[in-house]
Structure 1
Amino acid sequence: MWTNSMLKQNGMANFTKNRWACVVVCLILGIATGGGSGSVGSNVGRNAGGSSSNGSLDFNNIDWDVLIPIIMAVMAVLLVVLVIGLVLKIAVFAPLEVGCQRFFIVNRVQEKAQINNVAFGFKTNWKNIVKVMFFKNLYLFFWGLLCGIPAIIKGYSYRLVPYLLAENPDMTADEAITLSRQMMNGQKMNAFVYDLSFLGWILLSALTCGILYIFYVGPYKKCSDAELYTAIKETYNPQAVM
């Protein structure tokens, strides 16, 4: 049975033997998993359009013929940005995430894995990878609407999908998601405790404005995450879930 200390020890060894490649791939993975979403903020002056003597907004003085086209233009721009973000998330960032996990899996068994492994998702059954990751993220989105514990549990249930695709890019969505759920059956709490073991490092990274995370904690954890996937895969017993 694997232990957190064993996973982290092996992860550190895999990180140190290929340090700078791991740092670069971890940065790419950060873009892949966080680059598909963004926020747009705007500040509106409190006295826009005029105000009455008591400081409240006076709608009678607003020139709606001018304001409505501006509002429509802003909404159109935001819609375009949203569509572009979704397309990038689905068609680019998802297969890039699979490629990054491919790198960390390969880095376990090779002396020095090559950064070009991150292109795996684009060179090997790209359409299927995009489809599987789309359904995985779609299911997580709907579970996320429930908030709280159910969303967290499902996040752990689907955790292994990118790793499974990194080794089996021809798996269907049903196969990958079902297998991830089965493999994580009985392992979700173990994985949660494993993630908590990095909490101190993450808090320390915050004190360095993320610099420590970029060059040390992030790639160290991603190498250890690949160890976690391998350990769960090796201890998985299909008969136990039949």
Structure 2
Amino acid sequence: MNLSISEIKRQAKLSLKGKWGLGVLLTFVLFLLNFLLPTLVEMMMCGGPAEWIKQEDTSPGGSFVSTLITIALIPFTVGVYWFYLSLVRLKNPEISYAFSIYKDGKTSFKMIGVSILQGLFVFLWSLLLFIPGIIKSIAYSQTYYLLRDHPEYSVLEAITESRRRMNGYKWKYFLLGLSFIGWGILCLFTLGIGFLWLVPYVSTAMAAFYNEIIDIQDKDIEY
């Protein structure tokens, strides 16, 4: 069955209809927590913005705390993936849905573990050549979605299942991501403000991609 990029993007737009405000707000919160918060913490530990700007290298203490914050926010980032998957499935999620993952400590630590392991695998493949690293990152791209649908999967099982599910779909996924480059360039001319709308669009399209390949593969199994 043909998986059309134009159809995936059409589904993304339909899913976002009446929900663009939520997507923009979630993107803004994501930016504040993942990018602005670690920077502010580093500034505070350096004695303020003036001292932080003067520093040629980040202080070890500031880097350590910033890294801890980044790791602690991994479950929220995964929750954002799940938010858009829920949106594609027409379940009308609220912003709080992206934070709900923290209600279960075991799940939160599992997401941190899968993120670190995934990053390690991609890094090791990248040591061989740049292209294998990209291919593997695409192969592992469905891991977080799979863990939403199959919380019983272990970290390695989810990564392996993502790799299996992406057989025959990696090029399509690459082209889907590539199709947003023009919008990304345009967003640069808006001083980055346009990304508040582009990120929800891309995120919803990626969730729709997962939803489609799962549907196609499950139907093939039934037949």
Q: CA offsets, 1:14-35, max 9 Å, x none?
A: 1122111111223344567767
| C-alpha displacement of 1:158 | 1.1
Equivalent residue in structure 2 for 1:194, among 160, 176, 198: 176
**How many residue pairs get matched?**
204
Hey, what does 1:159 align to over in structure 2?
Answer: 141
**SS of residue matched to 1:2:** coil
Q: Give the equivalent residue in structure 1 for 2:79.
A: 99
SS at match of 1:235: helix
Q: TM-score, normalised by structure 2?
A: 0.79
Determine the C-alpha separation between the residues in 2 that align with 1:109 and 1:135. 28
Secondary structure of the 1:236 match is helix
Give how far 1:79 is off. Answer: 2.4
Match of 1:228 in 2: 209
Residue among 84, 87, 91 paired with 2:65: 84
CA distance in 1, matches of 2:60, 2:128: 25
Output aligned runs, 1:170-181, within 5 Å. Answer: 170-181=152-163
In the alignment, is the contact (CA less than 8 A) between 1:136 and 1:158 conserved in 2? Answer: yes
Amino acid at match of 2:98: V
1:205 positional shift: 0.8
The corresponding residue for 2:166 is: 184
- The yes-or-no answer on 1:140 pairing with 2:141 is no
Show the counterpart of 1:211.
Answer: 193
Q: Is the 8 A contact 2:75 2:102 kept in 1?
A: yes
Partner SS for 2:153: coil
* Cα shift at 1:231: 1.0
Indicate if the aligned counterparts of 2:76 and 2:98 stay in contact, CA closer than 8 A: yes
AA paired with 1:228?
F
TM-score (normalizing by structure 1):
0.73
Superposed CA offset, 1:117-158 (max 9, x none): 111321232222222222112222333444520111111011
Instruction: Determine whether 1:121 maps to 2:122.
Output: no
Answer with 1 or 2: which has the greater Rg.
1
Q: Percent identity?
A: 26
Is there any run of 5+ residues in structure 2 with no aligned partner, and where?
43-55
Give the residue type in structure 2 aligned to 1:119: F
Partner amino acid, structure 2, of 1:150: P
Structure 1 unaligned segments of length 5 or more: list them: 41-73
